[in-house]
Structure 1
Amino acid sequence: MKPFLTLKIPNFRNYLLGAFLSEIGNQMQVVAVAWQVYEMTRNPVSLGLIGVANFLPIILFSLIGGLVVDKVDRRNLLILVQGLQAILALSLFGLTMFHLINPLMIYVILFLISTSQSFSIPARQSVVPHLVPKKLFMNAVSLNTLQYQSAIMIGPAIAGFLIAGVGVQAIYLVNALSFIFFIMAIFSIKVPLQSHDREAVEFSLGSIMEGIRFVVKTPILLTTMVLDFLVTFFGTATILMPVFAQDVLQVGPKGLGLLYSAPAIGGVLAGLFISLMHHKIKHQGKAIIASIILYGLATIGFGFSKIFPLSILFLVLVGFGDMFSTIIRNTIRQLITPDYLRGRMASVMRIFFQGGPQLGDMEAGFLAKVIGGPVSVVVGGVGTVIITVLIIWKNKSLRNYTLDKD
């Protein structure tokens, strides 16, 4: 199987390019916000509060966002939400440029960005199945993950140099402009982005519950979502990167950019591997388990490391394990979810796959204040491995799961 076969499909190729360029700006902003907050406060708890600001909208608005995605025109929704996110990035630029910014303002803007993502993330995930034929879908998922990880690899590295050179305000401006590329890509797509009757979807609690019931009644979805939530809650160390860059490894903003980029290198390698070898991955359940255990062990290694190149290596392994599991789980979810439920399904998934890391950021920030950043990361990695072992011990169906069963 050719690894880039789906790039011959113009609609998917345009979508991928627009998403990639926009995501570079977004990942630059993630680094800029964390650096700016830590520079203002020098307190890891303030970094944990970034996780709180990002997490609250996930709980409050994700289920509503998924229902909206299934009800309204997905193309118009995506264009509207990208425009709103561009305005919020411009707000960060202006407030920083004129020295009006403070941590509370940043938290409020992050809350609004996360709220908008409650609509844009399920919309994006619901669009991809309409751009490629079903037989090429795992290839499309791996390439979509590849572009995302490439953006995470490139964006933070650029951000580190820009912070050192011209300051964080330039990053916010670049991110605001980057949304133009994704909006242009959405305009260029020539196929319908929904195949179900939108009028049949009602704005009601029952419609929201329909997505939840689908997850509960589909064991592989429920198990992998719970596993994802727990391991990312314990294992995530991203929010503590400024602590490691400044206080542990002492590598400054350029080193910070590389620390943020390193997991994405592993993610890119995972995406390339699956795009080349996806037809040979027959035991998806075992692949998910192995990749998550790798993620936990590499997190432990990173927590212990005091050597910058070794820390980078461990983070590459963290990214490989994380993305290998993510690609397979996303493929399973998309293939077994009917189109009329895709938005709601993606919103339920967001509560698990983003709620875990955001709560984990909060936990890591507060724990680092008490026991220090490195010990906090090691404890999280150990927790990840223990949770994974307990779940696979109790759940044989995950160990034995293959896509052929569905």
Structure 2
Amino acid sequence: MSYMNLIKEKDYLKILIAGVINRFGDSIDAIAMTWLVYSVSQNASLTALNFGINFVPTVLIQPFAGAYVEKLNHKKILVFMDLLRGVVVFLIALLTYFQCIEGWMIIVATFLLSTAEAFRMPANNALTPVIVKKENFNEAISLQSSMFRLSELIGTGVAGIIIGLCGVHVAIAIDALSFFFSGSIILMVKAKSYLRIEHQNKIFTDFKKGIKYLFHTKCLMRICLIGTIVNALLVPINSLETVLCIEVYHMGAELLSLMGIFSTIGSIVGAFIYPYLAKRYTERQFIVSFLLTMSLFYFICILNKVFLNLIFLFYIHLIISYFSLGAGAAVLSTYSSVNLLDKVDESFLARVSAVCVSLCTAAVPLCSFLVSFLSTFINVSDVFIVIAILSLLLAVLYSIISKKRWLE
């Protein structure tokens, strides 16, 4: 691993810094917004529903957005979307401060933010190979993932403190400021910000070409399969973590911060050592290990309530399980990102990455709505037990079918 080569990539460093600031705010917002939704509604079902709404634009809009932004200035798209997200989040902070916030307002804001991200993500992916040399892809993506996780670690660590001392509105306002800072830094990027395309085809035609390219490239289909599995299994904990903290463990926002801290530490370690692991382990081993980790994680989340009176054991189990979760997810995520940049032609990257993300993310709103539905009939403990058993069965199933030719 030669991370020192990236020092010469000045525009990459600017994008990296902007992303780090952005992720810091998002990590605070992730806890603050979830806490806000549950505080306003006192309803686990609405919490899961809002989480699912967050991913609807990614599924329905992003594939077309990828084809659309391919013809535009990628840097301007990034700056505009950061500004838009900053304004929306700041309005939520104001409404919360004046105690005018309602559940439907949060859902609308969530949809708008996700729509902006649906345009921003393909533009960012298309800009990366322009400002980074191909031989530095592994290190660039790995360093970016590690730095993002470190930023998330800091943000997650202070989120509970900010909410406790200053209020949830302050935490959300910090996220708004992070978007404004991010956009300002991206303005300073001087690299060529978009690929010139000779034939200005219609968006739908470009979209169809991206779909065709994807379905005729087996390695990309495998990436989509991996992303779908990871996203689906993370839905219950991501959407019901606040409910788990309050209803099962009977604790406050500080525990959410602790959960996020060790999940992020695991993500940092997983992303950083990915280049080492990629040389020694196969895709099949990565996936099976992750599925087994997820099964154990969900079992521990429920069994850990037995140790609430043995607080030392409770925190040991919590730390180990969240660290493992973060590490496993980061390894698979980095694997997918590196292979996407390496295998896709630059002229197709924006639209293909958008379609890939859309397909992978389709599992999130579907699973979120299912979790929301289940939460009206069974408690969070039962939901987690079902997911733990499902993850174990998937590990066994994938071990068998991955030997078939269609997955080779």
TM over 0.5: yes
Structure 1: give runs of 5+ residues left out of the alignment.
Answer: 402-406
For residues 123 and 395 of structure 1, the distance between their equivalents in structure 2, rounded to whole angstroms, comes to 33
Map 1:41-60 to 2 at 5 A: 41-60=41-60
Map 1:181-260 to 2 at 5 A: 181-194=181-194, 196-236=195-235, 237-260=237-260
Q: 1:341 to 1:285 in 2, by over 3 A?
A: farther
Please say if 1:175 is aligned against 2:182: no
* Residue matched to 2:76: 76
Counterpart contact for 1:71–1:202, Cα < 8 Å? no
Deviation readout 1:309-354 (Å, 9 max, x if unpaired): 4123201111111110111111111111111111111211222343
**Aligned with residue 382 of structure 2, among 362, 366, 375:** 375
Counterpart contact for 1:212–1:345, Cα < 8 Å? yes
Q: 1:74 to 1:288 in 2, by over 3 A?
A: same
Map 1:1-400 to 2 at 5 A: 1-194=1-194, 196-236=195-235, 237-275=237-275, 277=276, 280-281=279-280, 283-306=282-305, 307-396=314-403
Q: 1:258 to 1:353 in 2, by over 3 A?
A: farther
For residues 151 and 238 of structure 2, the distance between their equivalents in structure 1, rounded to whole angstroms, comes to 16
Counterpart contact for 1:231–1:384, Cα < 8 Å? no
Q: 1:395 to 1:219 in 2, by over 3 A?
A: farther
For residues 3 and 83 of structure 1, the distance between their equivalents in structure 2, rounded to whole angstroms, comes to 31
Deviation at 1:79, TM superposition (A): 0.8
Deviation at 1:102, TM superposition (A): 0.4
For residues 201 and 291 of structure 1, the distance between their equivalents in structure 2, rounded to whole angstroms, comes to 42
Q: 1:82 to 1:364 in 2, by over 3 A?
A: same
Q: Secondary structure at the match of 2:193?
A: coil
Deviation readout 1:168-200 (Å, 9 max, x if unpaired): 111121111112332233222222133x42342
Structure 2: give runs of 5+ residues left out of the alignment.
Answer: 306-313
For residues 217 and 385 of structure 1, the distance between their equivalents in structure 2, rounded to whole angstroms, comes to 31
Deviation at 1:279, TM superposition (A): 6.9
For residues 262 and 350 of structure 1, the distance between their equivalents in structure 2, rounded to whole angstroms, comes to 26
Partner letter of residue 192 of structure 1? K
For residues 73 and 141 of structure 1, the distance between their equivalents in structure 2, rounded to whole angstroms, comes to 22
Q: 1:125 to 1:143 in 2, by over 3 A?
A: same
For residues 12 and 285 of structure 1, the distance between their equivalents in structure 2, rounded to whole angstroms, comes to 32
Counterpart contact for 1:262–1:315, Cα < 8 Å? yes
Q: 1:294 to 1:6 in 2, by over 3 A?
A: farther
For residues 328 and 59 of structure 2, the distance between their equivalents in structure 1, rounded to whole angstroms, comes to 26
Q: Secondary structure at the match of 1:396?
A: coil
Partner letter of residue 344 of structure 2? T
Counterpart contact for 2:288–2:398, Cα < 8 Å? no
Q: Secondary structure at the match of 2:101?
A: coil
For residues 235 and 174 of structure 1, the distance between their equivalents in structure 2, rounded to whole angstroms, comes to 26
For residues 18 and 221 of structure 1, the distance between their equivalents in structure 2, rounded to whole angstroms, comes to 28
Worse overlay, 149-158 or 44-53: 149-158
Counterpart contact for 2:67–2:351, Cα < 8 Å? yes
Deviation at 1:235, TM superposition (A): 4.0
Q: Secondary structure at the match of 2:54?
A: helix
Q: Secondary structure at the match of 1:157?
A: helix
Counterpart contact for 1:235–1:380, Cα < 8 Å? no
Q: Secondary structure at the match of 2:369?
A: helix
Q: 1:48 to 1:400 in 2, by over 3 A?
A: closer
For residues 116 and 103 of structure 1, the distance between their equivalents in structure 2, rounded to whole angstroms, comes to 20
Worse overlay, 52-61 or 296-305: 296-305
For residues 44 and 136 of structure 1, the distance between their equivalents in structure 2, rounded to whole angstroms, comes to 44
Q: Secondary structure at the match of 1:192?
A: coil
Partner letter of residue 342 of structure 1? L
Worse overlay, 324-333 or 202-211: 202-211
Deviation readout 1:275-318 (Å, 9 max, x if unpaired): 5x267346345334434443443333334322244123201111
Partner letter of residue 48 of structure 1? A
* Residue matched to 1:404: none
Partner letter of residue 120 of structure 2? S
For residues 222 and 279 of structure 1, the distance between their equivalents in structure 2, rounded to whole angstroms, comes to 19
Over aligned residue pairs, what C-alpha RMSD do you find?
2.3
Counterpart contact for 2:56–2:365, Cα < 8 Å? no
Q: 1:115 to 1:9 in 2, by over 3 A?
A: same
